[in-house]
Amino acid sequence: MSLAKNIDLLRRLPRLDGLRFAELGRGADAPSPLQEVADFGGNPGALRMFAFVPEQLQKPRALVVVLHGCGQTAAAYDLGAGWSTLAEHYGFALLMPEQQRINNGNTCFNWFNPEDIARGSGEAHSIREMIAHMVGAHRIDPRRIFITGLSAGGGMTSVMLATYPEIFAAGAVIAGLPYGIAMNLREALDGMFHSPMRPARELGDLVRNASDHSGPWPKISVWHGSADRTVNPGNANEIVKQWLDLHDLPETPMAETIVDGYPRQAWWGKDGETLVESFAITDMAHGTPLGLADNDQRYGVEGAFLIEAGISSSYHIAKFFGLTDWIADAAKAEAKSATKPAAKPVSKPATKPGLSPAPHLARSIRAAIAEQPAEPKREQARSFDLGQIITRALTAAGLMK
């Protein structure tokens, strides 16, 4: 395909991929708890800042930065991926930067523009300023800051992890690209459509040269659909290679397991903590995977680039970040017990997302049956009841109450 045709395709991506939130009835006008913050510091990238801070926050306080994809807004991606619901359930602060059309006609974060992907410059610096504002305004623990993003937001996630690695404990890239592989539109298109293979050391050096940081490096979770025709799935392998090199880990996976019906590869450090993981979402196109979480909740709703796949990427990413052990009701009960001789019975969570239809019933059943071992020697294999599994799958599909 010629460069001219590729450029035309890039310009038409929102139309080709059906970014029509208004037609789906869940667009930018949908209710959102996100609040805009107008004055957050330096903003050389001319981005908008949106945030959500629940009343109850786990301790130490944590922050998740979420970057939307092309054609999306912060509120629309929050609705689709369910991050504010997760933030409410698990008590962490949420920051969602938003691109403006004056910067990019398709509202893509400029993950390949040299002015926007360098430390102390452009969009990367604007996001850094937003994070600093959240840390100061909401007493966020500097050791508990995380970042994730989809597509161009995934590319910008790679940028932030590379240019400000000392800030983040972990990151997650969904259908994104490695840092530093593109410095102009031609190279960006080549990376998106072809994903040229590079030596691991070369990829790692791109990150090492982005700052004066020498480690330790953030953990990373990588997600990509195998049928993605917008961003070549080979980019997932290149991201993994980049971060394995930084963590000085072998390219051969230390564990290969099945999670909710999909293959997961994992690598861990000397202390047993998982440092790199990768999910391949079989037969899924370009987008964020949605599904029923381990806690029987469904976070987000289907839409453009928000795909029912039988696995909740947002939930699993929050779990990878170490945010899902906290329970709001337990925190409330603890606060009450400090002032009253007898604590009231713990109530059910006040915020509970409604279930949305899950059309992939067969996949739900297959995923439920599949074994899902944790890291070696950490969890015993569990037996299962086939009747309960089918009942759960039918309930998830909206075919049974």
Beta-carbon count within 10 A of 190 CB: 17
How many whole angstroms separate alpha carbon 306 and alpha carbon 395? 21
The residue behind tokens 């604590």 is 343
Instruction: Yes or no: say if 134 and 51 are a contact pair by the CB < 8 Å rule.
Output: yes
Distances (CA, A) of 33 to 28, 96, 138: 12, 11, 17
Phi first, then psi: give them for residue 292, nearest 5 degrees.
-75, 130
Beta-carbon count within 10 A of 123 CB: 28
How many whole angstroms separate alpha carbon 139 and alpha carbon 196? 42
Collapsed DSSP state (helix, strand, coil) of residue 330 = helix
Instruction: Yes or no: say if 293 and 319 are a contact pair by the CB < 8 Å rule.
Output: no
Q: In sequence order, what are the beta bridge partners of 50?
A: 36, 96
* Active site members: 151
Instruction: Yes or no: say if 121 and 44 are a contact pair by the CB < 8 Å rule.
Output: yes
CA 195 to chain centre: 21
User: Cis before residue 97, ω within 30 degrees of 0?
Assistant: no
Distances (CA, A) of 77 to 26, 87, 146, 174, 318: 10, 14, 17, 13, 16
Give every CB contact of residue 309 below 8 A, 6+ residues apart in sequence. 225, 262, 281, 284, 289, 290, 291, 360, 363
